[in-house]
Structure 1
Amino acid sequence: MTKFCTLTTMATTLLAMAMGAPISLAAQDGDIKPGVYAWFNGASPDKRSPAEIAGQCARAPHVHYPDGFMAAKKLNTKAGNDGGAPYEFQGHGQCQFSSGQMSCDVVSGAPGEGGRSGSREAAYRISASDHIILSRPGGDDIGAYIPCDIQELDQTADDGRNVLDQIVVRDDDGPLPDLDRTSTVSE
């Protein structure tokens, strides 16, 4: 069994709320499917080791939901070990991915807290290694979303709670991503 404080050995995800929602490899009709992702700032996402990706997924996952809602979360081991929510919101918003363009309206903190807000836009492309690369209008890469290994996140913690369920949970009764728990990537 896995403690929430030892989740750093799990798969990919992110915290960089500043750039919007996670994106999935399995695009349908130009749109990116919902899923759980790791975010890495800057260029060269292909140079990230599996351990780095797993750690980012476990510590700071980004979740993109079917209705366009995005959540950037961060592991809070103290709260998780004390019986509270092990993942807290770092940011959230509404994001659209279409025809190579991402557009997000984001707010820092949890829904209803009234944090800093702003809009983010970037171009995106899917690399040969299935990473979603975001770039500025001039072509400079901002960073990349890398799909998390769903099987690694789909574990039971010592307190009996499922880690993946704790990552994707929403307070607003909105739709959850349809995750294939037999798959090793978000799809």
Structure 2
Amino acid sequence: ADLLLLDEPTNDLDLETLDLLQEMLADYPGTVLVASHDRDFIDRIATTTLLAEGTEGRWTEYAGGYSDMVAQRGSGLAPKPLAKARPVRPASPAGDLPAAPQRKRLSYKDEYALKQLPGRITERTSEIDRLESILADPALYRRDPKRFDETGAALAAARKDLAHLEDEWLRLEMLREEAGQPPAAS
């Protein structure tokens, strides 16, 4: 039952550090309770938003971040009051809710990786070509069986790494397109 409390964590942070904080909070295994005026930050990290409403000290729970909370309050959906007994409300048809676009910017780490991956893929491809040319020597196995085995193992590892790099590049490119961001400058 890990609990992390943060009060205005985005004050005085540059964009790079803010992205890093968001990534770390997303990977945090416990519960994070954040008090913040940064609506964008709340939208990016919150799965539940608590809002103090009225003068009676009443707190209301909304699913999602700040924009989701505003949409729920504006659409007439009954929020979940924080009380001991919560009434179960019937599921509303999907057509009742406006479709909120799930456009999320790539994190700084992902943007950096997306810029670096083409070069790493090229390097790995060159390494594979080099290893294949070594193994293409028909006399290598007779001359140096140990080197043949080591080169074969290195080739298998390089191919596996290349496949991983290509999969990661494809995943990040798809995220970039979904977020509507322009292609990374080479």
- Give the TM-score taking structure 1 as reference length: 0.24
**Greater percentage in helix:** 2
Higher Rg of the two aligned structures:
2
**Which structure carries more relative contact order (alpha carbon 8 Å, separation 6+)?**
1
- Give the TM-score taking structure 2 as reference length: 0.24
